[in-house]
C-alpha cells in the first residue's frame, strides 16, 4: 500500500514538472512568435517605405523606367517613360512591350537571355520621331518573386544628330584637304617627269602649287577659328562697334576698288557692344568679304549699323549675284557652297558663314539672310548691346 502511495506521489510530481515545462515551452514559443510577428511587421513597413522611395526616385527620374515581368509585360512605368512613349497616365501598365513601343526588335532584345549588347536604340513614331536608347537590367528575383527586367530609356536623338554632324564634318574636312593635296602631288609628279625643263610650264605649275598651299592654309586657319568659336566662351569687353566697322571697311576699300565695287558705311556713333571684339571683327570681315566676293564689278556693298531696343543691328547689303531660295536653309552649314567652283575660284573655304553663325549664337545673338537671285543679299546680325554700369 505504502509502495502504491509512493509511486502515485512520484507520478504526480513528474506530471506537475512536465506540465510546468510545457507551460514554459509554450510561453517561450509564444514570445518567439510575437518577436517574429513584430520583426515581420517592421520588415513589411521597411519594404513599404523602400517601395515608396523607389517609386519617388523612379517618378522623378529624367530617364524613362519600365519594369517588365518575365513574359515582357509592363508592371511599372514612370511618367518619363509614359511621356517618351506618348502614353496616357498608367496607359502602359499590363501592355506587352510591342504594344507599348511598337518595336518587335526591342521585344526581341529584351527577351534575349543569351550574351549580347546591354542597350538597343529604337525610333518612336516613324522616321522623323525621337530615337530612344533602352538599357536592360535583369533581376533574377523581382518584387513578384519571379525574374523581372528593368528597361531604362534615354532620348538620344540629339546625340545621334551630333554624331552624324561630326561624321559628316570629318568626311568633309578630309575631302577638302585631299583635293588640293592631290593637285599638288599631280603637279609635282609632272614636274618630276620632265616638265621642270620647260621654264614657262614650270612657272605655271609652281604658281598653282602656291595657290593650293594657300588654300590649305586658309582651310586650316578657318578650322581653328571655328573650333575656338565652338569650344571657348567669348572673352567679352565693351567697345564701339562703329569704330570697328570703320577699320574693317577701310581695310577692304582697296580690294573693293580693284574689283570695281563701291563700299560704304552708315553707322550711328557710338554703338556700344559687350562682346569679344576679335570675334565680332571676324563676323564683319567674313560678311564683307563675301559681299565683295559675290558682287560683280559695278556693284555696291553697304555696311549699316544701328541700335534697336536692346540690340545692335548690323546689315551687310550687296546687290550682287544673290542666292536662290532653296539654298538659304543650308547656307550656314559647314562647307556648304551654292556654287562650288565660284567659291573655290574666289578663295572661299565654305566655312565663313558657319563661323559667323557660331560666333553670333555664342553671343546670344541672331543671324538672318534675305536674298534674291541676281538681285543681291542682305545678311543681318543682331547682338545684345550690353549696358555699361557706372563704376
Ligand atoms: P565661302 O568660303 O564659299 O564663301 P561661306 O560659308 O562664307 O563660304 O558662304 C557659303 C556660301 O554662301 C558661298 O559659297 C556662297 O555660295 C554663298 N554666299 C555667301 N555670301 C554670299 C553673298 N553675299 N552673295 C551671294 N552668295 C553668298
- Look up the pTM and report it: 0.71
pLDDT in tens, 66-89: 999 988 899 999 999 999 999 999
pLDDT in tens, 292-308: 999 999 999 999 999 99
- Residue 228: which of 367, 363, 358 has the closest Cα? 358
Amino acid 143: pLDDT: 66
- Residue 208: which of 169, 168, 180 has the closest Cα? 180
Q: Report which ligand 1 atom has the smallest distance to the Cα of 343.
A: 3
CA–centroid distance, 246 to ligand 1, in Å, is 23
Q: Look at the block and give the residue holding cell 511599372.
A: 76
Assess contact for 295 and 289: CB atoms under 8 A: no
Name the residue of 331, 358, 372, 380 to mutate for ligand 1: max ligand atoms within 8 A of Cβ.
331
List residues near ligand 1 (CB under 6 A): 286, 290-291, 294, 318, 320-321, 323, 331, 336-339, 343, 348-354, 377
CA–centroid distance, 338 to ligand 1, in Å, is 7
pLDDT in tens, 304-346: 999 998 999 999 999 999 999 999 999 999 999 998 888 888 7
Shortest-distance Cα residue to atom 13 of ligand 1: 337
CA–centroid distance, 318 to ligand 1, in Å, is 12
The enclosing H or E element of 372 equals strand 366-372
CA–centroid distance, 310 to ligand 1, in Å, is 29
Amino acid at each position: 500500500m505504502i509502495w502504491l502511495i509512493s509511486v502515485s506521489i512520484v507520478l504526480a510530481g513528474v506530471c506537475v514538472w512536465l506540465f510546468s515545462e510545457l507551460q514554459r515551452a509554450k510561453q517561450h514559443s509564444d514570445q518567439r512568435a510575437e518577436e517574429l510577428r513584430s520583426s515581420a511587421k517592421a520588415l513589411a513597413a521597411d519594404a513599404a517605405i523602400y517601395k515608396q522611395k523607389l517609386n519617388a526616385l523612379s517618378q522623378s527620374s529624367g530617364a524613362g523606367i519600365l519594369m517588365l515581368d518575365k513574359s515582357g509585360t509592363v508592371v511599372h512605368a514612370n511618367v518619363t517613360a509614359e511621356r517618351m512613349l506618348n502614353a496616357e497616365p498608367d496607359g502602359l501598365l499590363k501592355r506587352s512591350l510591342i504594344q507599348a513601343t511598337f518595336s518587335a526588335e526591342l521585344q526581341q532584345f529584351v527577351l534575349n537571355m543569351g550574351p549580347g549588347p546591354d542597350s538597343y536604340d529604337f525610333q518612336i513614331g516613324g522616321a522623323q520621331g525621337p530615337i530612344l536608347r533602352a538599357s536592360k537590367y535583369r533581376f533574377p528575383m523581382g518584387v513578384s518573386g519571379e525574374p523581372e527586367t528593368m528597361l531604362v530609356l534615354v532620348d538620344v536623338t540629339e546625340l545621334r544628330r551630333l554624331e552624324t554632324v561630326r561624321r559628316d564634318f570629318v568626311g568633309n574636312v578630309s575631302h577638302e584637304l585631299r583635293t588640293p593635296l592631290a593637285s599638288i602631288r599631280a603637279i609635282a609628279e609632272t614636274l618630276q617627269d620632265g616638265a621642270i625643263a620647260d621654264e614657262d610650264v614650270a612657272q605655271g605649275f609652281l604658281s598653282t602649287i602656291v595657290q593650293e598651299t594657300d588654300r590649305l592654309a586658309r582651310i586650316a586657319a578657318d578650322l581653328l577659328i571655328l573650333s575656338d568659336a565652338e569650344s571657348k566662351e567669348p572673352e567679352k569687353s565693351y567697345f564701339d562697334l562703329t569704330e570697328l566697322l570703320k577699320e574693317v571697311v577701310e581695310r577692304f576699300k582697296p580690294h573693293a576698288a580693284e574689283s570695281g565695287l563701291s563700299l560704304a558705311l552708315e553707322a550711328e556713333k557710338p554703338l556700344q557692344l559687350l562682346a569679344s571684339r576679335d570675334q565680332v571683327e571676324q563676323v564683319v570681315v567674313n560678311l564683307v568679304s563675301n559681299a565683295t566676293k559675290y558682287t560683280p564689278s559695278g556693284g555696291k556693298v553697304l555696311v549699316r549699323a544701328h541700335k534697336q531696343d536692346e540690340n545692335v543691328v548690323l546689315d551687310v547689303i550687296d546687290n550682287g549675284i544673290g542666292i536662290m531660295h532653296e539654298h538659304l536653309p543650308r547656307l550656314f552649314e559647314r562647307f556648304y557652297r551654292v556654287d562650288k567652283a565660284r567659291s573655290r575660284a574666289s578663295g572661299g573655304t565654305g566655312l565663313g558663314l558657319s563661323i559667323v553663325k557660331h560666333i553670333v549664337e555664342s553671343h546670344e545673338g541672331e543671324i538672318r539672310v534675305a536674298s534674291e537671285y541676281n538681285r543681291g543679299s542682305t545678311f543681318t546680325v543682331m547682338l545684345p548691346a550690353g549696358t555699361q554700369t557706372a563704376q
